[in-house]
Amino acid sequence: MRSPLPRRLGLTAVLAFLLAVFGLAPSASAADPAPTTLTFATDSATTTPGGTVKLSMTLTNNKTYDVWFVYQTIDPTWLTTQRPDLKYSFTGCSLATAAGSTPCSGTGPNNLGANYGSTIPPGQSRTVTLTLQVAADSGCNGNIGFYSYYYAEFSDSSNTNGGPVYTPETRVLCA
> Tens of pLDDT along 33-92?
789 999 999 999 999 999 999 999 999 999 999 999 888 888 899 999 999 999 999 888
Backbone angles phi, psi at 10, to 5 degrees: -65, -45
d(CA 19, CA 33): 24
Does some domain include residue 14? no
d(CA 38, CA 110): 16
pLDDT of 88-122, one tens digit each?
998 888 888 777 888 876 555 455 766 777 789 99
Does some domain include residue 122? yes
What's the domain range around 73? 32-172
Quote the number of domains for the chain: 1
Does some domain include residue 9? no
Does some domain include residue 2? no
Does some domain include residue 123? yes
**Where residue 82 sits, what CATH number does that domain have?**
2.60.40.10
Total-model pTM: 0.75
| Strands of 125-134's sheet in order across | 36-42, 52-61, 125-134, 88-97, 100-103
Does some domain include residue 15? no
Contact 85, 138 (CB under 8 A): yes
